[in-house]
Homo-oligomer: A and B are copies of this chain.
Amino acid sequence: ADTKKIAVIAGDGIGPEVVAEAIKVMKKTEELYGLSFEFEHGLFGGIAIDEKGTPLPQETLDMCKAADAVLLGAVGGPKWDNNPKELRPETGLLGIRKALGLFSNIRPAKIFDCLKDASTLKPEVLEGTDLIVVRELTGGIYFGDKFRREGANGEEAVDTCVYNVHEVERIVRQAFEIARTRRKKLASVDKANVLETSRLWREVVNRIAPEYPDVELEHVLVDNCAMQLLRRPASFDVIVTENMFGDILSDEAAMLTGSIGMLSSASLGEGAFGLYEPVHGSAPDIAGQGIANPIATILSVALMYRLTFGYHEAAQSIEDAVASVLDAGHRTADIATDRSKAVGTQQMGDLIVAAM
């Protein structure tokens, strides 16, 4: 295969550690499947603030734009939490999403059979849970005007939530397409009984739905969805929703699985290009100790192979290797029942490479 350019932004905390294992796995697939990657590394997040005075340096952005896909570790940490807005890691995160046009965030939440005891939910409730949250990522209240002003009752703060028809259409279509490749069920989540943006959202969904007669559509109010995820997680297939609701519901869905150290995500734009990252954060409390779980990042590579490159065979081999290593009983500390037997970050990476 021709050489693919991968922009690697390891970021903060455990980011560099987990990304190193993901790259190890990618190199193994070069050997096994004749793939070829060129890795470029860039600064991003807290470390970029420290070294470059901005969470998203222009050269990092340029590197990402020139790449075929981006592999991201994690960003943030208490060190930068009280910085002014333009010097906070999350400002870089919002900035890179917007600058790369990544309007869609794909978050699979699937139960690994051998880990289902890790969940706080009863195993019989979780049985069969395998859902994807498709979250709109570059619109809504995240990106609308925000400001302070003097009101009649003193100082007030304002956030604006805006969606246009085009923004809703493209994400909803993508969700329908994904549902079509799966169990053919789509839950569109909104708050149409209160919000104008939700009413627009629902209109667009209803207008597009007839193009996908094979997909069963339900509209779910966001408060009800927060309940139903707990009550009947296995009944969901694909959930599509706007940015803020998606932030909340995708994290709730992730926690259902009980093993956030296992979950991957993809952020996509119009073409095949995508940014791939684990769902978990930078975990500053365990950074540098070599004990972080690299599986979420390794599975993000599998997602990259499937969604950006169409390397399905290599993706499958990664996913199978992860499953077989888990089945053999190997665990990092976060998912271990007996922490004294836990393997470290590198060891887990090595085990997965060996199983491929």
What is A's interface to B at a CB cutoff of 8 Å?
A: 88, 90, 94, 120-122, 125, 141-142, 144, 146-148, 151, 153-167, 191, 193-197, 199-201, 222-224, 226-227, 230-231, 244-245, 247-252, 254-256, 260
Given A90-B193, A154-B165, answer yes or no on A252-B255 (Cβ-Cβ < 8 Å): no
B247 touches A222 (CB 8 A): yes
* Residues in chain B near residue A226, CB distance under 8 A: 226, 248-249, 251-252, 255
Minimal beta-carbon separation of A94 from chain B (angstroms): 7
| Complex: A156 Cα to B169 Cα, angstroms | 12
Q: Which residues of B contact A166 (CB under 8 A)?
A: 153-154
Q: A160-B158, A164-B155, A252-B227 are in contact. Are A195 and B146 (CB under 8 A)?
A: yes
Least CB distance, A61 to chain B, in whole angstroms: 20
- Cβ contact within 8 Å between B197 and A159: yes
Bound-complex Cα distance A147 to B166 (A): 17
Q: Which residues of the other chain, B, contact A260 by a CB distance below 8 angstroms?
A: 227
Contacts of A90 in B (CB 8 A): 193-194
A-B pairs with beta carbons under 8 Å apart, 21 shown: A88-B193, A90-B193, A94-B194, A120-B122, A120-B230, A121-B230, A156-B165, A157-B162, A157-B199, A158-B160, A158-B162, A159-B160, A223-B248, A223-B251, A226-B248, A226-B251, A227-B251, A227-B255, A230-B252, A230-B256, A245-B248
A195, B159: Cβ atoms closer than 8 Å: yes
Taking a contact as CB atoms under 8 Å apart, the answer to whether B156 and A200 are in contact is yes
> Chain B residues with Cβ under 8 A from A148's Cβ?
196, 200
> Given A90-B193, A141-B195, A230-B120: A160 and B157 within 8 A (CB)?
no
Of all chain B residues, the one with the shortest Cβ separation from A94 is B194
How far apart sit A121 and B258, CA to CA, in the bound complex (Å)?
A: 12
Cβ of A224: which chain B residues have Cβ within 8 Å of it?
Answer: 251
Q: Are B160 and A160 in touch, CB under 8 angstroms?
A: yes
CB contact under 8 A between A160 and B161, given known A226-B226, A226-B249: yes
Q: Which residues of B contact A230 (CB under 8 A)?
A: 120-121, 230, 252, 255-256
Top 7 A-B pairs ranked by shortest CB distance?
A: A157-B200, A156-B164, A146-B196, A227-B255, A226-B252, A223-B251, A120-B125
Expressed in whole angstroms, the Cα–Cα distance for A252 and B224 within the complex equals 8
Q: A230-B120, A251-B226 are in contact. Are A155 and B165 (CB under 8 A)?
A: yes
Q: Are A142 and B248 in contact (CB under 8 A)?
A: no
Bound-state Cα–Cα, A230 to B248, Å? 13
Q: Name which residue of chain B comes closest to A248, CB basis.
A: B226
Which residue of A161, A222, A250, A254 has the most chain B CB atoms within 10 A of its CB atom? A161
